[in-house]
Amino acid sequence: MGKCPFCGSLIVELEYSATEFVRGGFTVRDGVGEYYGIESVDVDDQEYRCPVCGSIVARCESDARKVLLEGCS
């Protein structure tokens, strides 16, 4: 369990959001657009937020792991 460095709450998980760049195919089948073979090619603007106060506590997975496993003071 970690500790939010901003509000001090004990936290076991973080809220994750990011901008993901994907690539794949697109076609129209029976008048309906359809994507296929979508794969992630890059991730940017990663944010790991405290679920209690909403503050960003990390911007990469390794820092997020530290917050949850070691906590911050």
Output 10 or 43, the one with its CB closest to Zn ion: 10
Shortest CB 27 distance to Zn ion, Å: 45
Please count the residues of this chain forming the interface with Zn ion, following the rule CB under 5 A: 6
Q: Which of residues 2, 4, 14, 67 is near Zn ion by CB under 5 A?
A: 4
Task: Measure CA of the first residue to CA of the last residue in the chain; give whole Å.
Answer: 13
DSSP H or E segment with residue 25: strand 15-29
Does residue number 52 form part of the binding site for Zn ion (CB under 5 A)?
yes
Q: Which residues are at the interface with Zn ion (CB under 5 A)?
A: 4, 6-7, 50, 52-53
